[in-house]
Amino acid sequence: MTLTGKTAVVTGASSGIGEATARLLVREKCNVVLAARREDRLNSLAAKLGEGALAVPTDVTDPAACDDLISRAVGNFGTVDILVANAGLGLYGSIAQGEPEDWRRMFEVNVLGVLYTTRAAVRHMLDRGSGDVIFVSSLAGRRVPRADGTVYAATKHALTAVAEGLRMDVHTKGIRVIKVEPGLVRTEFPESSYPNAREYYAQREYSPLEAEDVAKAVIYAVEQPPRVSVNEILVRPTEQPK
């Protein structure tokens, strides 16, 4: 199915998987609305992608900002066909030594932020009778990778419930719900908890995925004909043991 002329909203678009997904969507001749907090990066990316790209600085933890994001997308391009809910945060520490503020921030971004953007987009999609909602989750939504990632994994397990509940609600209304669960991906993500992302990846025993690998999984799912709903895609590095 062609994506030409469709409009996609991508959160967390200022770097990593979000940026890579936005680039591929533009390559497929989509209009793309770029959402993230870093306005300078969004504006720079929008300028590179051309007139089909719109930068909308957005804090996904603010429900009014998420409503405005979708309103601006519809106002500029007439519709929202695809939501890629990609914004996420990982802060690591054991339960005993963890910081409650870190836990709150992760749930606000990884769960509530997804709910806020999804609610705004799905309301529009229900009026149109079609749409694709893509949650960029994690392998941590299926298992706890290690003890210091327990709370991060809890947010991604919550996202698994959100995705399935939404699918049950809208699958007869022309809306597909797709969850993409990457293993280790080379992005800026570790910099929230580690001094240097390059050193973090150098310590791994296998090569990570690249952001474009995950973006290609998103494109694969949304390019399927309307009768096909690819609800879950688990993609991990070939050498990743678990």
Give dist(CA 123, CA 202) in Å, integer.
43
Task: Count Cβ atoms within 10 A of the Cβ of residue 235 and give its class: 0-12 exposed, 13-18 middle, 19 or more buried.
Answer: middle
Q: Cα separation of 84 and 65, whole Å?
A: 16
Of 92, 116, 152, 220, which is the active-site residue? 152
User: What is the sign, positive or negative, of the torsion defined by CA atoms of 185, 229, 83, 67?
Assistant: negative
Distance CA 76, CA 83 (A): 16
Q: What's the one-letter identity of residue 101?
A: E
DSSP 148-203: GGHHHHHHHHHHHHHHHHHHHHHTTTTEEEEEEEESSEESSGGGGTSS-HHHHHHT
DSSP E strands in the chain: the ranges are 7-11, 31-36, 53-57, 82-85, 131-136, 175-182, 185-186, 209-210, 232-235
Strands 31-36 and 175-182: unpaired
Catalytic residue flag (residue 152) = yes
Which residues touch 191 (CB under 8 Å, ≥6 apart)? 197
Residues classed as catalytic: 152
